[in-house]
Amino acid sequence: MKFYVNEPFVPSKRGGGMMFDVFLNHRGPDVKGSFAAHLHQALQEEGCRPFLDKPDLEKGLPGQEKIYEALRCASVHVAIFSKDYAGSNYCLKELCDMLGSKKLIIPVFYDVSPSVLRCEDPDGPYTKALNIDGTRSATDVKKWKDALREAADLNGFKLDDYNGNEADLKTAIVRKVRDHLRASQLSPVPPYQDQVGLKETVKELIETLNRMEKDVGILSLVGMGGIGKTTLAKEIYRCFEKNDTFDKKSFLMDVRESAILDLQKQLARHLFKADVKDTEEFNKCFNRGMDRKVLIVIDDVHQNDQFDKLIPDINKLRPGSRIIITSRDSNVVNNIMKNGNCEYCKHRMAPLSTTDSRHLFNWHAFQSTDAIDGFQELAEKVADACCGLPLALRVIGRFLFDKREERDLKSTWPQTIKTLSKEEDILNKLKVSYDDHSLSPQARKMFLDIACFMIGQPGHIAMQIFEACKFDYEGAQTVFFRKLEDKCLVELDEDGRIRMHDLLRDMGREVVKNNMEKGTPSHLWDPEMVQRMLQNKEVST
Protein backbone atom coordinates (compact mmCIF):
# COMPACT_ATOMS: atom_id res chain seq x y z
CA MET A 1 0.00 0.00 0.00
CA LYS A 2 1.36 3.42 -0.94
CA PHE A 3 0.71 6.43 1.26
CA TYR A 4 0.82 10.07 0.21
CA VAL A 5 0.85 13.06 2.50
CA ASN A 6 -0.74 16.19 1.10
CA GLU A 7 -0.11 19.37 3.09
CA PRO A 8 -3.13 21.57 3.77
CA PHE A 9 -3.88 24.27 1.26
CA VAL A 10 -5.07 27.65 2.36
CA PRO A 11 -7.89 28.17 0.58
CA SER A 12 -31.93 11.02 6.77
CA LYS A 13 -33.04 9.11 5.33
CA ARG A 14 -34.11 11.48 2.70
CA GLY A 15 -37.64 12.69 2.34
CA GLY A 16 -40.30 10.91 0.36
CA GLY A 17 -41.80 11.74 -2.98
CA MET A 18 -41.29 10.12 -6.35
CA MET A 19 -37.75 9.76 -7.61
CA PHE A 20 -37.48 10.00 -11.40
CA ASP A 21 -34.85 11.66 -13.59
CA VAL A 22 -36.69 11.53 -16.92
CA PHE A 23 -40.35 11.96 -17.84
CA LEU A 24 -41.45 10.31 -21.10
CA ASN A 25 -44.35 12.23 -22.65
CA HIS A 26 -45.96 10.10 -25.38
CA ARG A 27 -49.23 8.78 -26.79
CA GLY A 28 -49.53 5.21 -25.57
CA PRO A 29 -51.30 3.56 -28.53
CA ASP A 30 -48.64 4.91 -30.91
CA VAL A 31 -45.34 4.08 -29.18
CA LYS A 32 -45.79 2.65 -25.67
CA GLY A 33 -45.34 -0.96 -26.75
CA SER A 34 -42.49 -0.17 -29.11
CA PHE A 35 -40.17 2.85 -29.18
CA ALA A 36 -41.14 4.34 -25.80
CA ALA A 37 -40.72 0.98 -24.06
CA HIS A 38 -37.31 0.43 -25.67
CA LEU A 39 -36.18 3.95 -24.72
CA HIS A 40 -37.43 3.40 -21.17
CA GLN A 41 -35.36 0.22 -20.88
CA ALA A 42 -32.25 1.83 -22.40
CA LEU A 43 -32.43 4.73 -19.94
CA GLN A 44 -32.71 2.29 -17.04
CA GLU A 45 -29.68 0.38 -18.29
CA GLU A 46 -27.74 3.64 -18.36
CA GLY A 47 -28.51 4.14 -14.66
CA CYS A 48 -31.26 6.76 -15.16
CA ARG A 49 -34.71 6.67 -13.58
CA PRO A 50 -37.28 7.20 -16.38
CA PHE A 51 -41.04 7.43 -15.85
CA LEU A 52 -43.33 5.68 -18.34
CA ASP A 53 -46.71 5.98 -16.55
CA LYS A 54 -48.21 2.48 -16.28
CA PRO A 55 -44.99 0.49 -15.59
CA ASP A 56 -43.86 3.03 -13.00
CA LEU A 57 -47.15 3.79 -11.22
CA GLU A 58 -47.61 2.46 -7.71
CA LYS A 59 -50.67 0.26 -7.30
CA GLY A 60 -53.54 1.75 -5.35
CA LEU A 61 -52.56 5.38 -5.90
CA PRO A 62 -54.35 7.97 -8.07
CA GLY A 63 -52.81 7.58 -11.52
CA GLN A 64 -53.09 11.10 -12.90
CA GLU A 65 -51.84 12.64 -9.67
CA LYS A 66 -48.73 10.45 -9.71
CA ILE A 67 -48.08 11.18 -13.38
CA TYR A 68 -48.17 14.90 -12.64
CA GLU A 69 -45.86 14.47 -9.63
CA ALA A 70 -43.40 12.48 -11.76
CA LEU A 71 -43.45 15.25 -14.37
CA ARG A 72 -42.66 17.86 -11.72
CA CYS A 73 -39.80 15.98 -10.08
CA ALA A 74 -38.04 14.84 -13.28
CA SER A 75 -35.02 16.85 -14.41
CA VAL A 76 -35.44 16.01 -18.11
CA HIS A 77 -38.62 15.80 -20.21
CA VAL A 78 -38.67 13.76 -23.41
CA ALA A 79 -41.66 14.50 -25.68
CA ILE A 80 -42.21 11.81 -28.33
CA PHE A 81 -44.29 13.35 -31.12
CA SER A 82 -46.04 10.60 -33.09
CA LYS A 83 -48.75 10.92 -35.78
CA ASP A 84 -51.71 10.77 -33.38
CA TYR A 85 -50.06 12.67 -30.50
CA ALA A 86 -52.32 15.71 -30.91
CA GLY A 87 -55.38 13.53 -30.45
CA SER A 88 -54.59 13.12 -26.74
CA ASN A 89 -55.65 15.82 -24.31
CA TYR A 90 -53.36 14.30 -21.69
CA CYS A 91 -50.29 14.56 -23.94
CA LEU A 92 -51.04 18.17 -24.77
CA LYS A 93 -51.66 19.15 -21.14
CA GLU A 94 -48.39 17.48 -20.10
CA LEU A 95 -46.58 19.35 -22.88
CA CYS A 96 -47.84 22.68 -21.53
CA ASP A 97 -46.73 21.74 -18.03
CA MET A 98 -43.29 20.69 -19.30
CA LEU A 99 -42.79 23.95 -21.15
CA GLY A 100 -43.91 25.87 -18.09
CA SER A 101 -41.37 24.08 -15.88
CA LYS A 102 -38.44 25.62 -17.83
CA LYS A 103 -36.57 22.30 -17.55
CA LEU A 104 -34.80 20.61 -20.43
CA ILE A 105 -37.24 19.29 -23.05
CA ILE A 106 -35.96 16.89 -25.69
CA PRO A 107 -38.39 16.64 -28.62
CA VAL A 108 -38.37 13.37 -30.55
CA PHE A 109 -40.06 13.68 -33.96
CA TYR A 110 -41.17 10.10 -34.53
CA ASP A 111 -42.61 9.77 -38.03
CA VAL A 112 -43.58 13.45 -38.05
CA SER A 113 -41.61 16.57 -38.94
CA PRO A 114 -41.41 19.74 -36.83
CA SER A 115 -43.51 21.52 -39.47
CA VAL A 116 -46.45 19.24 -38.65
CA LEU A 117 -46.45 20.62 -35.08
CA ARG A 118 -46.84 24.17 -36.38
CA CYS A 119 -50.26 23.23 -37.84
CA GLU A 120 -49.63 25.30 -40.98
CA ASP A 121 -51.07 22.63 -43.29
CA PRO A 122 -54.91 22.45 -42.95
CA ASP A 123 -54.73 18.78 -43.93
CA GLY A 124 -51.90 17.96 -41.52
CA PRO A 125 -52.59 15.29 -38.84
CA TYR A 126 -52.12 17.70 -35.94
CA THR A 127 -54.28 20.42 -37.52
CA LYS A 128 -57.10 17.94 -38.08
CA ALA A 129 -56.80 16.43 -34.62
CA LEU A 130 -57.03 19.82 -32.93
CA ASN A 131 -59.97 21.03 -35.01
CA ILE A 132 -62.08 17.89 -35.30
CA ASP A 133 -63.15 17.51 -31.68
CA GLY A 134 -65.87 19.98 -30.76
CA THR A 135 -65.55 19.14 -27.07
CA ARG A 136 -62.29 21.04 -26.86
CA SER A 137 -62.57 24.68 -25.89
CA ALA A 138 -61.15 27.37 -28.14
CA THR A 139 -58.94 28.49 -25.25
CA ASP A 140 -57.40 25.03 -24.84
CA VAL A 141 -56.87 24.60 -28.58
CA LYS A 142 -55.08 27.93 -28.85
CA LYS A 143 -52.90 27.13 -25.83
CA TRP A 144 -52.03 23.70 -27.23
CA LYS A 145 -51.22 25.08 -30.67
CA ASP A 146 -48.88 27.65 -29.08
CA ALA A 147 -47.19 24.89 -27.08
CA LEU A 148 -46.73 22.70 -30.16
CA ARG A 149 -45.23 25.59 -32.12
CA GLU A 150 -42.82 26.29 -29.25
CA ALA A 151 -41.82 22.62 -29.14
CA ALA A 152 -41.31 22.57 -32.91
CA ASP A 153 -38.66 25.28 -32.56
CA LEU A 154 -36.62 23.29 -30.00
CA ASN A 155 -33.57 21.30 -31.01
CA GLY A 156 -34.65 17.69 -31.07
CA PHE A 157 -34.18 14.29 -32.68
CA LYS A 158 -35.79 13.17 -35.93
CA LEU A 159 -36.20 9.54 -36.87
CA ASP A 160 -35.58 10.54 -40.50
CA ASP A 161 -32.07 11.76 -39.58
CA TYR A 162 -31.22 8.19 -38.56
CA ASN A 163 -32.65 6.65 -41.76
CA GLY A 164 -35.50 5.15 -39.77
CA ASN A 165 -33.10 3.22 -37.50
CA GLU A 166 -34.81 3.32 -34.10
CA ALA A 167 -31.83 1.76 -32.30
CA ASP A 168 -29.53 4.61 -33.38
CA LEU A 169 -32.18 7.19 -32.49
CA LYS A 170 -32.60 5.62 -29.04
CA THR A 171 -28.84 5.63 -28.43
CA ALA A 172 -28.54 9.32 -29.33
CA ILE A 173 -31.38 10.29 -26.98
CA VAL A 174 -29.92 8.27 -24.10
CA ARG A 175 -26.55 9.96 -24.60
CA LYS A 176 -28.17 13.41 -24.53
CA VAL A 177 -30.11 12.62 -21.35
CA ARG A 178 -27.07 11.10 -19.66
CA ASP A 179 -24.84 14.07 -20.44
CA HIS A 180 -27.43 16.53 -19.12
CA LEU A 181 -27.99 14.58 -15.89
CA ARG A 182 -24.26 14.32 -15.31
CA ALA A 183 -23.81 18.04 -15.80
CA SER A 184 -26.68 18.94 -13.47
CA GLN A 185 -26.26 16.28 -10.77
CA LEU A 186 -24.43 18.74 -8.55
CA SER A 187 -25.45 22.35 -8.04
CA PRO A 188 -23.04 24.86 -9.58
CA VAL A 189 -20.19 26.16 -7.47
CA PRO A 190 -20.90 29.85 -6.78
CA PRO A 191 -18.63 32.25 -8.68
CA TYR A 192 -17.15 33.73 -5.51
CA GLN A 193 -15.43 30.41 -4.85
CA ASP A 194 -12.98 31.26 -7.63
CA GLN A 195 -11.68 34.02 -5.39
CA VAL A 196 -10.79 31.85 -2.40
CA GLY A 197 -8.24 29.45 -3.86
CA LEU A 198 -10.59 26.62 -4.85
CA LYS A 199 -9.19 26.20 -8.34
CA GLU A 200 -5.61 25.82 -7.12
CA THR A 201 -6.63 23.20 -4.56
CA VAL A 202 -8.72 21.26 -7.08
CA LYS A 203 -5.89 21.25 -9.60
CA GLU A 204 -3.40 19.95 -7.03
CA LEU A 205 -5.69 17.18 -5.81
CA ILE A 206 -6.60 16.05 -9.34
CA GLU A 207 -2.88 15.78 -10.07
CA THR A 208 -2.52 13.68 -6.92
CA LEU A 209 -5.34 11.37 -8.05
CA ASN A 210 -3.73 11.03 -11.48
CA ARG A 211 -0.35 10.15 -9.92
CA MET A 212 -1.93 7.12 -8.30
CA GLU A 213 -1.78 5.55 -11.75
CA LYS A 214 -3.22 2.05 -12.18
CA ASP A 215 -4.03 1.06 -8.60
CA VAL A 216 -7.32 1.81 -6.86
CA GLY A 217 -6.86 5.19 -5.17
CA ILE A 218 -8.55 6.77 -2.15
CA LEU A 219 -8.51 10.52 -1.46
CA SER A 220 -9.86 11.68 1.89
CA LEU A 221 -10.80 15.27 2.62
CA VAL A 222 -10.68 15.69 6.39
CA GLY A 223 -11.63 18.71 8.48
CA MET A 224 -14.17 20.23 10.81
CA GLY A 225 -17.74 20.92 9.77
CA GLY A 226 -18.27 24.02 7.65
CA ILE A 227 -14.71 24.14 6.34
CA GLY A 228 -15.65 23.29 2.73
CA LYS A 229 -15.04 19.55 2.31
CA THR A 230 -18.21 18.88 0.31
CA THR A 231 -17.71 21.94 -1.89
CA LEU A 232 -14.19 20.76 -2.75
CA ALA A 233 -15.38 17.21 -3.42
CA LYS A 234 -18.13 18.51 -5.73
CA GLU A 235 -15.71 20.53 -7.79
CA ILE A 236 -13.25 17.63 -8.19
CA TYR A 237 -16.16 15.41 -9.24
CA ARG A 238 -17.40 18.06 -11.67
CA CYS A 239 -13.99 18.33 -13.29
CA PHE A 240 -14.02 14.60 -14.04
CA GLU A 241 -17.52 14.96 -15.49
CA LYS A 242 -15.97 16.94 -18.32
CA ASN A 243 -13.87 14.02 -19.61
CA ASP A 244 -13.97 10.25 -20.01
CA THR A 245 -11.38 9.35 -17.35
CA PHE A 246 -13.98 7.18 -15.60
CA ASP A 247 -16.62 4.96 -17.17
CA LYS A 248 -19.09 5.24 -14.28
CA LYS A 249 -19.49 7.81 -11.51
CA SER A 250 -21.62 8.26 -8.40
CA PHE A 251 -21.76 11.01 -5.76
CA LEU A 252 -23.28 9.85 -2.46
CA MET A 253 -24.39 12.98 -0.60
CA ASP A 254 -24.59 13.31 3.19
CA VAL A 255 -23.97 9.71 4.24
CA ARG A 256 -24.37 10.70 7.90
CA GLU A 257 -28.10 11.42 7.44
CA SER A 258 -28.97 8.91 4.72
CA ALA A 259 -30.16 5.32 4.96
CA ILE A 260 -27.44 2.91 3.84
CA LEU A 261 -29.86 0.90 1.70
CA ASP A 262 -30.85 4.04 -0.23
CA LEU A 263 -27.18 4.73 -0.93
CA GLN A 264 -26.59 1.11 -1.97
CA LYS A 265 -29.51 1.37 -4.40
CA GLN A 266 -28.01 4.55 -5.88
CA LEU A 267 -24.62 2.90 -6.33
CA ALA A 268 -26.20 -0.15 -7.93
CA ARG A 269 -28.06 2.03 -10.44
CA HIS A 270 -25.07 4.16 -11.32
CA LEU A 271 -22.36 1.49 -11.39
CA PHE A 272 -24.11 -1.78 -12.26
CA LYS A 273 -27.28 -0.54 -14.01
CA ALA A 274 -29.19 -2.71 -11.56
CA ASP A 275 -32.12 -2.25 -9.20
CA VAL A 276 -31.49 -3.98 -5.87
CA LYS A 277 -34.04 -4.57 -3.12
CA ASP A 278 -31.76 -5.20 -0.16
CA THR A 279 -28.16 -5.27 1.03
CA GLU A 280 -27.76 -8.92 0.07
CA GLU A 281 -28.56 -8.18 -3.57
CA PHE A 282 -26.21 -5.19 -3.50
CA ASN A 283 -23.35 -7.31 -2.14
CA LYS A 284 -23.91 -9.91 -4.86
CA CYS A 285 -23.68 -7.19 -7.54
CA PHE A 286 -20.53 -5.77 -5.98
CA ASN A 287 -18.82 -9.13 -5.51
CA ARG A 288 -19.16 -9.90 -9.20
CA GLY A 289 -16.53 -7.21 -9.63
CA MET A 290 -16.14 -4.14 -11.80
CA ASP A 291 -15.24 -4.31 -15.46
CA ARG A 292 -14.90 -0.51 -15.73
CA LYS A 293 -13.07 2.29 -13.95
CA VAL A 294 -15.34 4.12 -11.53
CA LEU A 295 -15.30 7.34 -9.50
CA ILE A 296 -17.23 7.26 -6.22
CA VAL A 297 -17.61 10.17 -3.80
CA ILE A 298 -18.78 9.27 -0.27
CA ASP A 299 -19.69 12.49 1.52
CA ASP A 300 -19.65 12.94 5.32
CA VAL A 301 -18.58 9.50 6.53
CA HIS A 302 -18.55 9.33 10.32
CA GLN A 303 -18.50 5.58 11.04
CA ASN A 304 -16.19 2.86 9.72
CA ASP A 305 -19.02 0.48 8.84
CA GLN A 306 -20.62 3.05 6.50
CA PHE A 307 -17.70 2.72 4.10
CA ASP A 308 -17.62 -1.08 4.46
CA LYS A 309 -21.33 -1.37 3.61
CA LEU A 310 -20.94 0.81 0.51
CA ILE A 311 -17.60 -0.68 -0.63
CA PRO A 312 -17.79 -4.29 0.66
CA ASP A 313 -14.52 -5.30 -1.02
CA ILE A 314 -12.28 -2.60 -2.44
CA ASN A 315 -10.29 -5.26 -4.32
CA LYS A 316 -13.33 -5.85 -6.55
CA LEU A 317 -12.92 -2.38 -8.06
CA ARG A 318 -11.10 -2.21 -11.35
CA PRO A 319 -7.55 -0.79 -11.11
CA GLY A 320 -7.56 2.91 -11.91
CA SER A 321 -10.80 3.51 -9.99
CA ARG A 322 -10.90 6.33 -7.44
CA ILE A 323 -12.84 6.92 -4.21
CA ILE A 324 -13.13 10.34 -2.57
CA ILE A 325 -14.23 10.49 1.07
CA THR A 326 -15.14 13.52 3.15
CA SER A 327 -15.18 13.21 6.93
CA ARG A 328 -14.77 15.20 10.12
CA ASP A 329 -13.04 12.26 11.81
CA SER A 330 -9.42 11.53 10.94
CA ASN A 331 -9.53 8.18 12.76
CA VAL A 332 -12.35 6.98 10.52
CA VAL A 333 -10.38 7.64 7.33
CA ASN A 334 -7.23 6.13 8.88
CA ASN A 335 -9.14 2.89 9.40
CA ILE A 336 -10.58 3.02 5.89
CA MET A 337 -7.11 3.24 4.38
CA LYS A 338 -6.41 -0.25 5.70
CA ASN A 339 -9.04 -1.68 3.36
CA GLY A 340 -7.32 -3.61 0.60
CA ASN A 341 -4.28 -2.89 -1.49
CA CYS A 342 -4.75 0.69 -2.63
CA GLU A 343 -3.03 4.03 -2.85
CA TYR A 344 -4.13 6.60 -0.32
CA CYS A 345 -3.90 10.35 0.14
CA LYS A 346 -5.21 12.36 3.08
CA HIS A 347 -5.86 16.05 2.51
CA ARG A 348 -6.32 18.00 5.73
CA MET A 349 -8.60 20.97 5.15
CA ALA A 350 -7.28 24.24 6.52
CA PRO A 351 -9.26 27.39 7.36
CA LEU A 352 -9.20 30.16 4.79
CA SER A 353 -6.44 32.71 5.05
CA THR A 354 -7.23 36.14 6.49
CA THR A 355 -7.31 37.71 3.04
CA ASP A 356 -9.54 35.04 1.50
CA SER A 357 -11.83 35.06 4.54
CA ARG A 358 -12.40 38.79 4.20
CA HIS A 359 -13.01 38.51 0.47
CA LEU A 360 -15.55 35.73 0.95
CA PHE A 361 -17.37 37.58 3.74
CA ASN A 362 -17.46 40.82 1.74
CA TRP A 363 -18.86 38.99 -1.24
CA HIS A 364 -21.90 37.90 0.78
CA ALA A 365 -22.26 41.06 2.86
CA PHE A 366 -21.64 43.61 0.08
CA GLN A 367 -21.63 41.62 -3.21
CA SER A 368 -18.02 42.70 -3.68
CA THR A 369 -14.59 41.65 -2.48
CA ASP A 370 -14.33 45.05 -0.78
CA ALA A 371 -16.48 46.45 2.02
CA ILE A 372 -18.41 49.66 1.40
CA ASP A 373 -17.27 52.96 2.89
CA GLY A 374 -17.64 53.16 6.63
CA PHE A 375 -17.80 49.39 7.15
CA GLN A 376 -14.24 48.34 6.28
CA GLU A 377 -12.90 47.94 9.81
CA LEU A 378 -16.07 46.30 11.12
CA ALA A 379 -16.16 43.89 8.17
CA GLU A 380 -12.59 42.82 8.84
CA LYS A 381 -13.39 42.12 12.49
CA VAL A 382 -16.49 40.09 11.65
CA ALA A 383 -14.64 38.06 9.02
CA ASP A 384 -11.73 37.39 11.37
CA ALA A 385 -14.17 36.27 14.10
CA CYS A 386 -15.52 33.58 11.73
CA CYS A 387 -12.17 31.78 12.05
CA GLY A 388 -11.75 31.08 8.34
CA LEU A 389 -14.80 28.80 8.09
CA PRO A 390 -16.53 29.26 4.69
CA LEU A 391 -19.97 28.30 6.02
CA ALA A 392 -19.81 30.84 8.86
CA LEU A 393 -18.51 33.55 6.52
CA ARG A 394 -21.35 32.87 4.10
CA VAL A 395 -24.14 32.74 6.70
CA ILE A 396 -22.96 35.70 8.78
CA GLY A 397 -22.30 37.70 5.61
CA ARG A 398 -25.88 37.13 4.43
CA PHE A 399 -27.16 37.96 7.93
CA LEU A 400 -25.50 41.39 7.75
CA PHE A 401 -26.25 42.01 4.06
CA ASP A 402 -29.23 44.32 4.66
CA LYS A 403 -27.91 45.97 7.82
CA ARG A 404 -26.30 49.17 6.52
CA GLU A 405 -28.13 51.91 8.40
CA GLU A 406 -26.39 54.21 10.85
CA ARG A 407 -27.99 52.38 13.78
CA ASP A 408 -26.64 49.07 12.43
CA LEU A 409 -23.17 50.58 12.26
CA LYS A 410 -23.38 51.45 15.95
CA SER A 411 -25.26 48.44 17.32
CA THR A 412 -25.83 45.36 15.13
CA TRP A 413 -22.31 45.04 13.73
CA PRO A 414 -20.45 45.63 17.05
CA GLN A 415 -22.80 43.22 18.84
CA THR A 416 -22.23 40.59 16.16
CA ILE A 417 -18.46 40.94 16.55
CA LYS A 418 -18.78 40.60 20.32
CA THR A 419 -20.96 37.48 20.04
CA LEU A 420 -18.78 35.80 17.43
CA SER A 421 -15.57 36.55 19.32
CA LYS A 422 -16.73 34.99 22.58
CA GLU A 423 -18.28 31.90 20.97
CA GLU A 424 -15.87 29.08 20.19
CA ASP A 425 -18.59 26.61 19.14
CA ILE A 426 -19.40 26.93 15.44
CA LEU A 427 -23.08 26.14 16.11
CA ASN A 428 -23.36 29.16 18.38
CA LYS A 429 -21.72 31.34 15.77
CA LEU A 430 -24.27 30.21 13.20
CA LYS A 431 -27.13 30.79 15.65
CA VAL A 432 -26.51 34.54 15.28
CA SER A 433 -28.31 34.37 11.94
CA TYR A 434 -31.21 32.32 13.33
CA ASP A 435 -31.68 34.84 16.17
CA ASP A 436 -31.90 37.73 13.71
CA HIS A 437 -34.88 39.93 14.61
CA SER A 438 -35.72 40.30 10.91
CA LEU A 439 -36.74 36.62 10.88
CA SER A 440 -40.34 36.34 12.03
CA PRO A 441 -41.28 33.66 14.61
CA GLN A 442 -43.06 31.77 11.84
CA ALA A 443 -39.96 31.85 9.61
CA ARG A 444 -37.91 30.50 12.54
CA LYS A 445 -40.45 27.73 13.06
CA MET A 446 -40.24 26.89 9.36
CA PHE A 447 -36.45 26.64 9.71
CA LEU A 448 -36.83 24.21 12.63
CA ASP A 449 -39.43 22.17 10.72
CA ILE A 450 -37.01 21.80 7.82
CA ALA A 451 -34.04 20.98 10.06
CA CYS A 452 -35.97 18.22 11.82
CA PHE A 453 -38.18 16.74 9.11
CA MET A 454 -37.94 18.14 5.61
CA ILE A 455 -34.36 17.93 4.36
CA GLY A 456 -34.55 16.13 1.03
CA GLN A 457 -38.28 16.75 0.56
CA PRO A 458 -39.48 18.09 -2.83
CA GLY A 459 -39.94 21.82 -2.41
CA HIS A 460 -43.48 21.88 -3.78
CA ILE A 461 -44.55 19.15 -1.33
CA ALA A 462 -43.05 21.07 1.59
CA MET A 463 -44.85 24.24 0.47
CA GLN A 464 -48.17 22.35 0.43
CA ILE A 465 -47.52 21.22 4.00
CA PHE A 466 -46.60 24.73 5.11
CA GLU A 467 -49.66 26.13 3.33
CA ALA A 468 -51.82 23.91 5.54
CA CYS A 469 -50.24 25.52 8.60
CA LYS A 470 -52.43 28.60 8.05
CA PHE A 471 -49.85 31.36 8.25
CA ASP A 472 -50.88 34.99 8.75
CA TYR A 473 -51.66 35.61 5.08
CA GLU A 474 -51.96 33.75 1.79
CA GLY A 475 -48.62 32.91 0.24
CA ALA A 476 -46.71 33.60 3.47
CA GLN A 477 -45.00 30.21 3.30
CA THR A 478 -43.25 31.21 0.07
CA VAL A 479 -42.15 34.56 1.53
CA PHE A 480 -40.74 32.89 4.64
CA PHE A 481 -38.90 30.24 2.65
CA ARG A 482 -37.31 32.84 0.39
CA LYS A 483 -36.22 34.74 3.48
CA LEU A 484 -34.45 31.61 4.72
CA GLU A 485 -32.87 31.18 1.29
CA ASP A 486 -31.67 34.79 1.33
CA LYS A 487 -30.05 34.12 4.70
CA CYS A 488 -28.27 31.03 3.27
CA LEU A 489 -30.05 28.91 5.87
CA VAL A 490 -31.76 26.63 3.30
CA GLU A 491 -31.55 26.03 -0.43
CA LEU A 492 -33.20 24.10 -3.25
CA ASP A 493 -31.02 21.72 -5.26
CA GLU A 494 -31.18 21.06 -9.00
CA ASP A 495 -34.03 18.58 -8.47
CA GLY A 496 -36.11 21.07 -6.48
CA ARG A 497 -35.44 19.33 -3.16
CA ILE A 498 -34.78 21.19 0.08
CA ARG A 499 -31.20 21.06 1.32
CA MET A 500 -29.49 22.43 4.42
CA HIS A 501 -25.85 22.27 5.51
CA ASP A 502 -25.40 19.62 8.19
CA LEU A 503 -24.14 22.18 10.70
CA LEU A 504 -27.20 24.36 10.16
CA ARG A 505 -29.33 21.25 10.60
CA ASP A 506 -27.49 20.47 13.85
CA MET A 507 -27.91 24.05 15.01
CA GLY A 508 -31.67 23.90 14.40
CA ARG A 509 -32.03 20.62 16.22
CA GLU A 510 -29.98 21.99 19.10
CA VAL A 511 -32.46 24.89 19.37
CA VAL A 512 -35.29 22.35 19.60
CA LYS A 513 -33.49 20.36 22.29
CA ASN A 514 -32.88 23.50 24.33
CA ASN A 515 -36.54 24.44 24.02
CA MET A 516 -37.45 20.92 25.07
CA GLU A 517 -35.70 21.38 28.39
CA LYS A 518 -37.94 24.36 29.07
CA GLY A 519 -41.24 22.64 28.33
CA THR A 520 -43.15 20.39 25.94
CA PRO A 521 -41.11 19.45 22.86
CA SER A 522 -42.14 21.01 19.57
CA HIS A 523 -40.43 18.52 17.23
CA LEU A 524 -39.80 14.80 17.64
CA TRP A 525 -37.61 13.40 14.85
CA ASP A 526 -35.32 10.99 16.72
CA PRO A 527 -36.88 7.56 17.58
CA GLU A 528 -34.53 7.17 20.54
CA MET A 529 -35.63 10.55 21.87
CA VAL A 530 -39.30 9.56 21.57
CA GLN A 531 -38.68 6.24 23.31
CA ARG A 532 -36.78 7.92 26.13
CA MET A 533 -39.51 10.50 26.64
CA LEU A 534 -42.22 7.85 26.72
CA GLN A 535 -40.25 5.81 29.24
CA ASN A 536 -39.82 8.91 31.40
CA LYS A 537 -43.52 9.74 30.93
CA GLU A 538 -42.59 13.17 29.69
CA VAL A 539 -45.44 13.12 27.21
CA SER A 540 -48.94 11.80 27.50
CA THR A 541 -49.70 8.56 25.64
Q: How far apart are the first and last CA of the chain?
A: 57
- Count of beta carbons in the 10 Å neighbourhood of residue 97: 16
What is the rounded distance in angstroms from the CA atom of residue 182 to the CA atom of residue 59? 31
Which of 368, 302, 363 lies closest to 336, judged by CA? 302
DSSP state of 520: S
Cβ burial 9-24 (10 Å sphere, 16+ → b, else e): bbbbebeebbbbbbbb
Helix (H, G, I), strand (E, B) or coil at 369: coil
CA torsion sign, 424 to 414 to 401 to 438? positive
Complete DSSP assignment for 113-162: -HHHHTT-STTSHHHHHHHH-TTS-HHHHHHHHHHHHHHHTS--EEGGGG
Asked if 48 and 21 count as a contact pair (C-beta separation under 8 A), the reply is yes
Q: What angle do CA 319, 258, 463 make, to 5 degrees?
A: 130
Helix (H, G, I), strand (E, B) or coil at 524: coil
What is the rounded distance in angstroms from the CA atom of residue 326 to the CA atom of residue 346? 10
Instruction: Spot the catalytic one: 46, 94, 235, 343.
Output: 94
Pairing of strands 498-499, 76-81: unpaired
Instruction: Count Cβ atoms within 10 A of the Cβ of residue 72 and give its class: 0-12 exposed, 13-18 middle, 19 or more buried.
Output: buried
What is the rounded distance in angstroms from the CA atom of residue 110 to the CA atom of residue 131? 22
What is the rounded distance in angstroms from the CA atom of residue 489 to the CA atom of residue 482? 10
- Count of beta carbons in the 10 Å neighbourhood of residue 487: 22
In sequence order, the β-bridge partners of residue 221 are 326, 347
Q: State CA 455 to chain mean position distance.
A: 11
Q: Is 65 a catalytic residue?
A: no
Instruction: Count Cβ atoms within 10 A of the Cβ of residue 287 and give its class: 0-12 exposed, 13-18 middle, 19 or more buried.
Output: exposed
Helices 502-518 and 441-449 pack at an angle, to 10 degrees, of 110
Residues recognised as catalytic: 94
